[in-house]
Each structure stands twice: as structure tokens, then as C-alpha cells.
Amino acid sequence: MKQPGSGIAIIGSGSAVPATSLDNVGLSRIVDTSDEWIASRTGIRQRRLANPTLSLAKLAAEAAQAAIDQANLAPTEIDLILLATSTPDDLFGTACLVQAELGANRAVAFDLTAACSGFVFGLVTAAQFIRTGVYQNVLLIGADILSRWVDWSDRRTCVLFGDGAGAVVLQASDRDRLLSFELRSDGTQNHYLNLAFQPQPKEMVDDIAIGQGNFHPITMNGQEVYRFAVRRVPEVIEKALFRANLSTAEIDWLLLHQANQRILDAVGDRLKIPHEKIISNLAKYGNTSAASIPLALDEEVRQGKIKPDDTIVTAGFGAGLTWGAAIFQWGR
Ligand code: UT7
């Protein structure tokens, strides 16, 4: 028997992107590429880029404040802040900086890293705290400034990524709006997509050496990641649909991590979900990693396309490798 209030409602969304945008023509002045190649292979036309003074915390807090406002809450009513990111301002954690920025002084705050699956993994993590009755109001943010870590001389990766942030507020509710989920990880395929620390040995005293160094820019095997996404994402969605006892015909929107238009279309085709139900904004923003799902969600909500009670299938996939799907209904 469920306790009253042990369900989850998603009651607000917000997003923020840097003001500066770089289109494909601009990018072709940096690497040997073209608007035609990028648009036809990925659907991406431009991406937003954070200037050197824009922190991840500031970008995340802007998206978060918009979500809190839409939820009609005050920052002091937030119990927990989860920041899904792979590009923190501080490796010790950036969620606390967001908490301070918002003045959400009652909230516990921590980072969660699952790359482009970060938002879906965060949604499920937030749900556990609500379902156990521990917290009432949870702020979940997906934010990334991948431009910090892209190799801007590698045309196979640099054309894909952009910067942004998106957020949602989840609240304990009698009516449970998170219908099902399915999460997966496979570290044996980690090497296909990396932003890895590369230690240099440093001698200390006697026989003691440690590793110090830096993170090296993103490396990716695009074809393998493509294959993985098109195969694995429909599987987890089908599993989540089965758990929710829903057919694809009962789904209003397919909201996938915005990595590549060809991946969105291929997943939609495999699931027999018509293209008009597939949400896509990657032409404007590229792949914004943990931000991509909540950023697209917020745009559709604010444009009135996603309406209260609409049933949404969302799925994230990427480095780890990680992937996962969740099915939820929008609104209180
Ligand atoms: O969050 C998850 C993140 N990652 C992904 O979602 C990536 C998934 N993978 C993909 O989206 C695609 O694999 C890419 C868009 C990255 C690449 O598309 P592709 O159709 O798999 O291209 P390819 O790697 O097979 O390359 C085809 C050709 C190659 O030339 P050759 O060897 O056939 O002469 C590349 O050198 O295209 C060339 N190429 C480019 N040409 C112009 C690769 N990148 C570019 C570029 N501009 N930016």
C-alpha cells in the first residue's frame, strides 16, 4: 500500500543557454567541415557557447530559478538539489554553489555524474527520495558546458556539442506521475566516449610516486556510439513501456537526448512512433549533454506544445556507457 504523497509530480521546468551562438559556417572557419556535412549527418545548425566568465553554477541557477518560479515555490522550500553534470566548476561539487546562488538554504545539494544520461538518472534518483517520504520538493538540474572540454581541432567531435542548462521541480503527490523507468550501465564500453583524467607520475619521497595531471579533451568513436544508441535506447523504452502497461500509441511525446537527428528518427522508427511526436531542438543547440532533455522539455512546455497530463517517454544515453528511459506525465 502506498502512503499518501508518495507519488511524484513534475510541476515546473526552466532552462538557460549562453547568449553567444556559433553556427556551422562559423565552425567551418575553425575546422575542415561544412554546414552541409554537419546538418545532413546530425541535424545541428548552431550551438550556444559559454564565454570564459560564465560559470556552470550561474547557468544552472538561472534554469533552476525559472523552474522554481513556474512551480510557484520559493527557493527556501526546496529540500534537495541534484545537479547532473560532467563539467563542474569544482570537482568537489558544484551543486552547493547553485544552492548558494539560489538562496535555497534548506536544501541538501550534490552533483550526480552520468554524462548524457544524467537527467534521466537524476529523475529516478530524485524519485527515490520522494517515494521514501524523506523529501517533498526536489530540484533536478541538468547542466553542462562541454565547450570547456571539446577538442576544437577534432572535426569528428567538436561539431556536435553545445552548452546549456535545464531544470525541473519534482514534488510529492498523491497522484504518481512517474509511471516507470529502466536504467542501464556498461563500463566495458567506456572507451567509446571519454573525458578522462590522464595522470603523470610524480616522485614524492623514496619509493612513493603519485599521479598528477589533467583531464584530456573528449574522444569518441562516433560510429560505435551511434550503433549503441540506436540498438539500446529502443530496448529500454520498450521495457519501460511494458512496466507502465502502455503501448507506443498511448505516448504523446518522445523526448530523447538530443545527440543526432538521425538517432532520434531511427529510434522513433524502431518504436513506430510518428515523427511529429519526436521532440527536437538540436538544430539550435547541438548536444548539450545532461541539459538536453530538460532544455527541450522546457521549450515545449513554454510553447504550450506539451500540455498537462501529456504522457512523455524520455531516454538518455551516452558516456559510461550509460542509458535509461523513464515515462512520466507532465504537470501536477
Ligand atoms: O551523447 C552521445 C554523444 N555522441 C553521439 O551521439 C555520437 C553518435 N555518432 C554520430 O552522431 C555520428 O557517428 C557522427 C555524426 C559523429 C559521425 O557521422 P558518421 O555518418 O558516422 O560519419 P563517419 O564518422 O563515418 O565519417 C564519414 C566521413 C569520414 O570521411 P572518410 O573517412 O569517409 O573520407 C570523416 O572523416 O566524414 C568525415 N567527417 C567529416 N567531414 C566533414 C567526420 N567529421 C566531419 C566533419 N565535417 N565535421
From 226, 267, 289, the mutation candidate for ligand 1 (largest count of ligand atoms within 8 A of CB) is 226
Measured in Å, residue 320 CA sits from the centre of ligand 1 at: 20
CATH of domain 180-188+219-329: 3.40.47.10
- Beta carbons of 102 and 87 less than 8 angstroms apart: no
Ligand 1 nearest-atom number relative to CA 157: 16
| Catalytic-role residue among 116, 158, 260, 281 | 116
pLDDT at 5: 65
* DSSP letter string, 269-311: HHHT--GGGB---HHHH-B-GGGHHHHHHHHHHHTT-S-TT-E
Whole-angstrom distance, CA of residue 150 vs CA of residue 184: 25
Output the nine-digit C-alpha cell for 296.
Answer: 527541450
Identity of the amino acid at 116: C
Provide the mean pLDDT of the chain: 96
In this structure, which residue's CA is closest to atom 17 in ligand 1? 222
Quick one: pLDDT at residue 1? 45
Give mean pLDDT, residues 271-277. 96
To 10 degrees, what angle do helices 118-131 and 292-302 make? 80
pTM: 0.96
Per-residue pLDDT at 3 exceeds 90: no
Helices (H), 90-213: 95-102, 118-131, 155-158
Mutate to test the pocket of ligand 1, among 156, 189, 261 (most ligand atoms within 8 A of CB): 156
Ligand 1 atom with the smallest distance to the CA of 262 is: 11
pLDDT at 9: 97
pLDDT at 280: 98
Quick: pLDDT tens for 193-203: 999 999 999 99
Q: In the chain, what percentage of residues exceed pLDDT 70? A: 98
Q: Tell me the DSSP string of 191-240.
A: GGEE--EEEEEEE-STT-EEEEEEEPPPEE-HHHHHHHHHHHHHHHHHHH
- Ligand 1 centroid to Cα of residue 218, in Å, is 14
Rounded CA separation 314/279 (Å): 10
Which residue is catalytic, options 24, 137, 281, 287? Answer: 287
Q: Which residues line ligand 1 (CB under 6 A)?
A: 33, 37-38, 41-42, 116, 155-156, 159, 220, 222-223, 225-226, 229, 259-260, 287, 318
Tell how far the Cα of 259 is from the centroid of ligand 1, in angstroms. 12
Kindly report the protein residue whose alpha carbon is nearest to atom 48 of ligand 1. Answer: 155
User: In the prediction, which pLDDT does 6 show?
Assistant: 82
Closest atom of ligand 1 to 259 CA is 6
- Please answer whether residues 268 and 275 qualify as being in contact, where contact means their C-beta atoms are separated by less than 8 angstroms: yes
User: How far is Cα 285 from Cα 161, in angstroms, rounded to an integer?
Assistant: 8
Model pLDDT for residues 204-239, shown as the tens digit of each residue? 998 999 999 999 999 999 999 999 999 999 999 999
Residue 191 catalytic? Answer: no
H-helix or E-strand spanning residue 80: strand 80-84
Assess contact for 261 and 43: CB atoms under 8 A: yes
Give 21 Cα–ligand 1 centroid separation in angstroms.
22
Please indicate whether residue 96 is annotated as part of the active site. no
Instruction: Write out pLDDT tens, residues 86-135.
Output: 999 999 999 999 999 999 999 999 999 999 999 999 999 999 999 999 99
Say if CB 144 and CB 18 are below 8 A apart.
Answer: no
Please list the residue range(s) of the chain that carry CATH number 3.40.47.10. Answer: 7-175, 180-188+219-329
Q: What is the pLDDT of residues 53-76, one digit of tens each?
A: 999 999 999 999 999 999 999 999
So what's the architecture of 7-175 in CATH?
A: 3-Layer(aba) Sandwich (3.40)
Give tens-digit pLDDT for 275-297: 999 999 999 999 999 999 999 99
Distance CA 315, CA 292 (A): 11
Closest C-alpha to ligand 1, atom 38:
156
